[in-house]
Amino acid sequence: MAGQAALETAPDPVLAEHERLLDLAALDVLGRGPEERFDRITRMAQQLFGVSAAAVTLVTDAAQVHKSQSGPLPLADGAREHAFCDVTIRRPELLVVEDATQDERFAGNPSVTGAPGIRFYAGHPVQGPGGHRVGALCLVDERPRHFGAEERALLAELAGWVQRELDRSTELESAARVQAALLPLGTPDIAGYEVAGMCLPSGSVGGDFFDWHPAPDGQLVLTLADVMGKGLPAAIVTAMVRAVMRSTARDAGPAEAVREAAATLHEDLERTGRLVTMCHAKLDAVGHRVRFADAGHGLMLLVRADGSFARPAGGGLPLGVLAGEEWPEGVVDLAPGDTVVAFSDGLLDLFDGTTDSLPQIAAAVWDCVDAAHVVDRFTVLARRVGIRTDDVTLVAIRRTP
Amino acid sequence: MIELDTHPTGAAVVRVDGRLTMVDAPAFRSAVAEAVGEAATTVVVDLSACAFMDSSGLGAVIAGLKAARQAGGDLRIAAPSTQVLTVLQLTNLERVLRPFGSVAEALRAG
């Protein structure tokens, strides 16, 4: 049957549009306001071509949104059905309308018959990570205009620049997904204990991480580390540090595991110019004891069931400072209802940024009903800060009362 | 802003004016490299006008310390703010980066 064959070969338009919208969402550029990286392209395009407006548009399910625009003619976001760019994204190549009044597709368009009186339009599609066309770099003018081969090539090249900017954000998003996938999934099931953790990078990816896994002896190994610096360069180093710690902590106690890892990592940290602060611990849920090694981390609190708190003392240098360092091992004994938290200095920034805020942090921890509550509380607090300048990471271990 | 001032005695003073963060870290590193390259045995980092140092800034100071020591010299910090002192204490780095009260004291220490 001919009808059947058509169904099998032609892409389902509803499904294709659904995938296109997912592609647009994956770019994460909608609803974020103007961004300089796109504005500089539209500014340049407007100047280069001497048009009334140059814009980067995004076509959503029902509307055309101007991500960036430049020029004396302001373009308003509007219904998709009247958008020139909606026609552009149906084809992979450049769309040029030299005089809209002479083009039957656009002559009756409200932005041609009425304000802003578009005559000339040229638009080149841009696509999302899945290859669906999601928007365009376009030029608009109120006068008809001839658009030659050289100008067409130039506009295509500028659209390639917009495309690279879009790809760059997608790449970061992918990196963020990989980094998030390297965090522990769920919480460990340990009789008499609750364990929870959070890691909120200030950007897409960050220099903090936490990790936990059971050791062959049945105890739980926990690591919280902060690679100095931010963003992708620091994120690359976190993956390396995490893997080395997983390996050295398998059969060694905390101090030995840190020493071994530091020796393994030293040359790489020197070459990349990075220091790493770290709190590495092992929870003995039978003996109710946490053994830990502190490598220049210093931010660990024991909050007792009665509300008093202490900072477990003792520690060594961050990793990457000196070769052949040793780290002392500290011990914290946990009574019912006691909580141990380790966190990155980004958490201090949610308060006054100094160690003067430790009593406030301890009070907030004490006020929580369980370890997950501690994590929820600080997550809410961190999310409330519009622009965080540092990654916020925390791990809580609580002995059930 | 980073300023380098070499003394005829073979010491160099690197002065940090304002903040020492990711932005200024490269300038700081090259100032220390220049001082070490000119065979300064002692590099004193004057932090009296440094209001804030983040982890990238701290990393740059440690890198400077390593470079100075590799060349057979030393790097000292002078007049750090409370914020910088807190960071040094928290990270145990005051053990390798002993703070001096002033540039003169750091220079006198030998």
Same domain, A129 and A219: no
- Cβ–Cβ gap B62/A321 under 8 Å: yes
Residue A4 has pLDDT above 80, yes or no: no
Is there a domain that residue A268 lies in? Answer: yes
| A75 in the same domain as A152 | yes
Q: What are A170-194's pLDDT values in tens digits?
A: 788 788 889 999 999 888 999 999 9
Tell me: pLDDT of A362 over 60.
yes
Position A16 scores a pLDDT of: 86
Using a CB-CB cut-off of 8 Å, the residues of chain A touching B86 are 354-355
Q: What pLDDT band is residue A204 in, cutting at 50, 70 and 90? A: confident
Evaluate whether residue A37 is within a structural domain. yes
The answer, yes or no, to whether residue A147 has pLDDT greater than 60, is yes
pLDDT of residue A1: 43
Contact B91 A229 (CB under 8 A): no
A29 and A65 belong to one structural domain: yes
A158 and A259 together in one domain: no
- Average confidence score pLDDT of chain A: 92
Has residue A97 been placed in a domain? yes
Query: b/e per residue, A320-339, with b = 16+ CB within 10 A?
Result: bbbeebebebbebebeeebb
For the beta sheet containing A300-303, the strands, ordered from the edge strand earlier in sequence to the opposite edge, are A193-200, A392-399, A339-343, A300-303, A309-310
Examine the fold and report which residue of A124, A144, A177 is the final residue of a domain before the chain moves on: A177
Q: Please tell me if residue B85 touches chain A, with a CB cutoff of 8 Å.
A: no
Is the CB of B91 less than 8 angstroms away from the CB of A317? yes
The 10 Å CB-count burial string (b at 16+, else e) for A198-210 is bbbbbbbbbbbbb
A355 and B86: CB-CB below 8 Å?
Answer: yes
E strand or H helix at A136, and its extent?
A: strand A133-141
Three-state SS at A172 = helix
All residues of chain A having their beta carbon less than 8 Å from the beta carbon of residue B55 are 226, 228-229, 275, 345
Cα Rg for chain A, rounded, in angstroms?
Answer: 28
Residues A213 and A309 both lie in one domain: yes
- The more confidently predicted of residues A367 and A36 is A367
Is there a single domain that holds both residue A268 and residue A203? yes
Q: Tokens 């020139």 label which residue?
A: A84
Domain boundary among A139, A160, A177: A177
Q: Name the strands in the sheet holding A95-97, side by side, starting at the edge strand that comes first in the sequence.
A: A78-79, A63-70, A53-59, A133-141, A120-127, A95-97
CA distance linking residue A250 with residue A227, whole number of Å: 22
Q: What is the pTM of this model?
A: 0.74
Helix/strand/coil for A273: coil
The range of the structural domain enclosing residue A128 comes to 12-177
Are residues A284 and A198 part of one domain? yes
With the C-alpha atoms ordered A198, A203, A204, A209, is the resulting torsion angle positive or negative? negative
CA distance B8 to chain A (A): 30
Q: How far is A35 from chain B (nearest CA, A)?
A: 21
Please state the rounded mean pLDDT for residues A225-235: 89
For A52-66, the pLDDT digits (tens) are 999 999 999 999 999
Q: If phi over 0 gives left and psi between -120 and 50 gives alpha, with beta otherwise, what is residue A176?
A: alpha
Count the neighbouring beta carbons within 10 Å of the beta carbon of residue B17.
Answer: 15
Question: What CA–CA distance (Å, rounded) separates A208 from A201?
Answer: 7
Cα(A354)–Cα(B52) distance, integer angstroms: 12
**Residue A9: predicted pLDDT:** 53
- Residue of B56, B92, B96 with shortest CB distance to A228: B56
Top pLDDT among A258 and A2 is at A258
| CATH number, residue A169 | 3.30.450.40
Residue A386 has pLDDT above 80, yes or no: no
A307 — pLDDT class (breaks 50, 70, 90): very high
Decide if A39 is inside a domain: yes
Confidence of residue A340 (pLDDT cuts 50, 70, 90): very high
Count how many domains chain A has. 2
Give yes or no for A321 touching B (CB within 8 A): yes
Confidence of residue A273 (pLDDT cuts 50, 70, 90): confident
| Cα torsion A217, A219, A220, A222: sign | negative
Q: Are residues A196 and A173 part of one domain?
A: no
pLDDT at site B52:
86
> CB A298 to CB B92 under 8 A?
yes
Q: Which residue has the tokens 């053990």?
A: B95
A33 or A328, which is more confident: A328
**Which of residues A142, A177, A212 is at a domain's end?**
A177
DSSP lists the bridge partners of residue A72 as none
Task: Verify whether the Cβ–Cβ distance B59 to A228 is below 8 Å.
Answer: yes
A74 close contact with B: CB closer than 8 A: no
Environment class of B100 (CB within 10 Å of its CB; exposed 0-12, middle 13-18, buried 19+)? buried
Question: Would you state the pLDDT for residue A113?
Answer: 95
Mean pLDDT of A339-343: 97
Distance CA A370, CA A398 (A): 7
Do both A42 and A55 map to the same domain? yes
The CATH number that applies at residue A333 is 3.60.40.10
My answer on whether A90 and A220 are in the same domain is no
Structural domains in chain B plus CATH codes: 2-108 (3.30.750.24)
Task: State residue A287 phi and psi, 5-degree precision.
Answer: -85, 0
Contact A351, A357 (CB under 8 A): yes
Q: Which of A229, A275, A299 sits opposite B90 (nearest CB)?
A: A299
CA distance A327 to A318: 10
Tell me, yes or no, whether A5 lies in a domain.
no
How confident is the model at residue A5, as a pLDDT? Answer: 45
Percent of chain A with pLDDT over 70: 97
Q: Are residues A247 and A347 in the same domain?
A: yes
d(C-alpha A386, C-alpha A252), whole Å: 41
- Same domain for A201 and A172: no
Q: Does residue A6 fall inside a structural domain?
A: no
Residues of A in contact with B89 (CB under 8 A): 298
Q: CA nearest B69 in A: which residue?
A: A322
Residue A3 within any structural domain of the chain? no
Tell whether A4 is covered by a domain.
no
Tell me the CB-side half-sphere exposure of residue A113, using CA atoms within 13 A: 8
A389: pLDDT strictly greater than 80: no
Lowest-pLDDT range of A14-23, A148-157, A236-245: A14-23
Contacts of B68-71 with C-beta under 8 Å, sequence gap 24+, read: B68/B32, B68/B35, B68/B36, B68/B40, B68/B42, B68/B43, B71/B36, B71/B39
Residue A6: per-residue pLDDT: 45
Please report which confidence band the pLDDT of residue A7 belongs to, taking 50, 70 and 90 as the band edges.
Answer: very low
C-alpha dihedral sign at A346, A348, A353, A354: negative
The answer to whether A388 contacts chain B (CB < 8 Å) is: no
- Mean pLDDT for each consecutive 10-residue tract of chain B (110 residues)? 82 92 88 86 93 87 92 93 89 91 88
Assign A11 a pLDDT band (cuts: 50, 70, 90).
Answer: low
Peptide linkage before A214 cis (omega within 30 of 0) = no
> Do A60 and A85 touch, CB atoms closer than 8 A?
no
Q: Which long-range contacts (CB under 8 A, 24 or more apart) does A355-361 make?
A: A355/B86, A355/B90, A358/A301, A358/A309, A358/A311, A359/A309, A361/A301
